[in-house]
């Protein structure tokens, strides 16, 4: 595997009981890029995203075949520490989900679980994470106030900061701006451009313009199949598959 290849997916199949939800997915994602997953509702893109940190393990009756290598290690190996995996591969959900505690404690929560107890170290981590998430200047004077008092866009950036505090390698984002207003959406999009300097980002989006604006590569899913993956400008201007063109031009979906 190339040193640049962060993630390599080989013949991945996923079943919910008898329902074959993902079919022979093959994909390679390089380090420090943004990969967008697009396709109509129910096409498998969010299911695929959750395979990358084994979130589907939490669902009864799920069976997976094939392999996913992250940094050359098969995350579905019996030797994989799932807690460690989810620290390395963090997830931002569709709706912001701050904990009902202070802004400071939201960020410090993960590091404390992983053994960081000294206040000076936590202070530094909280500040660094909030700065990385472009939120520090907005909240630095109210760190001890409830995170639930933040706006929706601020809450989503707080959730991103909470992930960054445990120092992951990969960020998974499942429609992270679908519940946000346009200004907050722009801030999160701008943030992803900064974060890809340090992280590999995979984002599920229903917003074609968003995929075109922020991603380096785009993958089109349909009925549990990966139809094609290519550089984003190629996907949106000259896709290889007619089904991709039909979707991005609004003929279905």
H helix or E strand, kind and range, residue 67: strand 62-70
Asked whether residue 44 is assigned to any structural domain, the reply reads yes
Asked whether residue 143 is assigned to any structural domain, the reply reads yes
By residue count, the chain amounts to 253
How many whole angstroms separate alpha carbon 213 and alpha carbon 190? Answer: 10
Asked whether residue 14 is assigned to any structural domain, the reply reads yes
Q: What is the pLDDT of residue 5?
A: 86
pTM across the whole model: 0.94
Q: What is the pLDDT of residue 30?
A: 96
Q: What dihedral do alpha carbons 207, 208, 209, 212 form, nearest 10°?
A: 130
Distance of CA 89 to the CA centre of its chain: 8
Q: Is the pLDDT of residue 4 over 80?
A: no
Distance of CA 196 to the CA centre of its chain: 12
Confidence at 252, pLDDT banded by 50, 70, 90: confident
Domain at 200, CATH number = 3.40.50.300
Do 15 and 21 contact (CB within 8 A), yes or no? Answer: yes
Dump pLDDT digits (tens) for 39-87.
999 999 999 999 999 999 989 999 999 999 999 999 999 999 999 999 9
How many whole angstroms separate alpha carbon 28 and alpha carbon 6? Answer: 8
Asked whether residue 178 is assigned to any structural domain, the reply reads yes
Q: Is the pLDDT of residue 3 over 80?
A: no
> Residue 129 belongs to what domain range?
5-248
Give percent of the chain above pLDDT 70: 98
Number of domains observed in the structure of the chain: 1
Q: For 134-150, what is the mean pLDDT?
A: 97
Span of 1-10, 118-127, 223-232 with lowest mean pLDDT: 1-10
């Amino acid at each position: 595997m190339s040193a640049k290849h962060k993630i390599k997916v080989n013949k991945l199949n996923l079943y919910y009981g008898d329902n074959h939800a993902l079919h022979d997915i093959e994909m390679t994602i390089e380090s420090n890029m943004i990969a967008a997953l697009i396709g109509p509702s129910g096409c498998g893109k969010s299911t695929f995203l959750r395979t990358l940190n084994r979130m589907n393990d939490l669902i009864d009756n799920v069976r997976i075949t094939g392999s996913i290598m992250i940094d050359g290690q098969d995350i579905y190996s019996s030797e994989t520490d799932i807690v460690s995996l989810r620290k390395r591969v963090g997830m931002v959900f569709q709706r912001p989900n701050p904990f009902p505690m202070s802004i400071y404690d939201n960020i410090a929560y993960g590091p404390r679980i992983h053994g960081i107890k000294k206040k000076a170290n936590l202070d530094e981590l909280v500040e660094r994470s909030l700065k990385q998430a472009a939120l520090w200047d907005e909240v630095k004077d109210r760190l001890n106030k409830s995170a639930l008092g933040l706006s929706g866009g601020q809450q989503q950036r707080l959730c991103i900061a909470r992930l960054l505090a445990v120092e992951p390698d990969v960020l998974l984002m499942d429609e992270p701006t679908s519940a946000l207003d346009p200004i907050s959406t722009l801030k999160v999009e701008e943030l992803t451009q900064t974060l890809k300097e340090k992280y590999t980002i995979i984002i599920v989006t229903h917003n074609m313009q968003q995929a075109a604006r922020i991603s380096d590569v785009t993958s089109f899913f349909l009925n549990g199949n990966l139809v094609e993956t290519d550089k984003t400008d190629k996907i949106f201007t000259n896709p290889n598959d007619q089904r991709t063109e039909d979707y991005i031009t609004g003929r279905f979906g």
